[in-house]
Structure 1
Amino acid sequence: MAQFRRELRRALTHPGEVPESELRREVQYDGGAEKFLRRLWGDLYPEEPVPSKDDEK
């Protein structure tokens, strides 16, 4: 689970690296990769802010 969380955080801080076509095919979500990942983080970790690129500085 810790690895999944690290990878989700990485995807949220670098959304351009997430392949949109693969995400649509695998989870059938049409709102865009970044929107989906933000929603997923909020559902899994409701008490924590969604990571962003600014957090890496």
Structure 2
Amino acid sequence: MSQTTLEQWFDPVTTRALDAFIEGMTLHFVTDRAPLTREEIRAMVGRIAGERDR
């Protein structure tokens, strides 16, 4: 996902953070012995995007 696409929904600073997170998670997905669950990733994205804990 490109920064341009992310900027449709997020401010520039959050867009950069999410873009870096996506790139980093791509590497971790390939190298981690125990990949994160979908729920764990969703929680991380929520934190970066400023979502409050539920």
TM-score clears 0.5: no
Name the TM tier (shorter chain): 0.3 to 0.5
Q: Which structure has the larger Rg over C-alpha atoms?
A: 2
TM-score (norm 1): 0.32
TM-score (norm 2): 0.33
**Relative contact order, higher structure (CA 8 A, sep 6+):** 1
